[in-house]
Amino acid sequence: MTVTSPNGGESLLSGPSQSNRISWSGGNGKVQVGLVDSRFERDGTILGWIFLNGIANSSGTWDGQRVTDLANTVSWPVSSLSSGPFKILTVSANSNGTYCAGNNGTSMCNYDLSDGYFTIAQ
């Protein structure tokens, strides 16, 4: 997996009419695309999910406003979760078909983070 955009230093816009492009390459099976801040590198915190069930080597647009849980039943405004800066997290199935974002001790996970942090302008 590789996050190709945004990949650091950008400032995304937030609002119902915004179309921020998020792109990734690689992946096996469905791809989950999440939003993280500096807590991810410390303790694995994922703020929420932007896209669920994406496809390998693809992209999508995001308004920069909300993220959801993995079941897509609850959503939260990004501004209520963190002031940033942020990174994009892409996660795809590893060789045994499971999903993880870190080394789970038994197999390497198939995930990537943006290379650098970006901001979201309100």
**Residue-range definition of the domain harbouring residue 30:** 2-121
Query: Of residues 53 and 96, which shows the higher confidence score?
Result: 53
Total domains present in the chain: 1
pLDDT tens, residue by residue, 10-63: 999 999 899 999 999 998 888 999 999 999 988 889 999 999 989 999 999 999
**What percentage of residues in the chain have a pLDDT greater than 90?**
68
Q: Chain-centre distance of CA 97, in angstroms?
A: 19
Decide if pLDDT at 65 tops 80.
yes
- Any idea what the CATH number is for the domain that residue 35 is in? 2.60.40
Secondary structure in 3-state letters for 45-97 = CCCEEEEEEECCCEEEEECCCEEECCCCCCEEEHHHHCCCCEEEEEEECCCCC
pLDDT, residue 28, reads: 80
Compute the average pLDDT of residues 59-83.
95
Give the alpha-carbon dihedral of 38, 119, 5, 15, to 10 degrees: 130
pTM: 0.91
pLDDT, residue 110, reads: 87
Q: Chain-centre distance of CA 109, in angstroms?
A: 15
Asked if 59 and 86 count as a contact pair (C-beta separation under 8 A), the reply is no
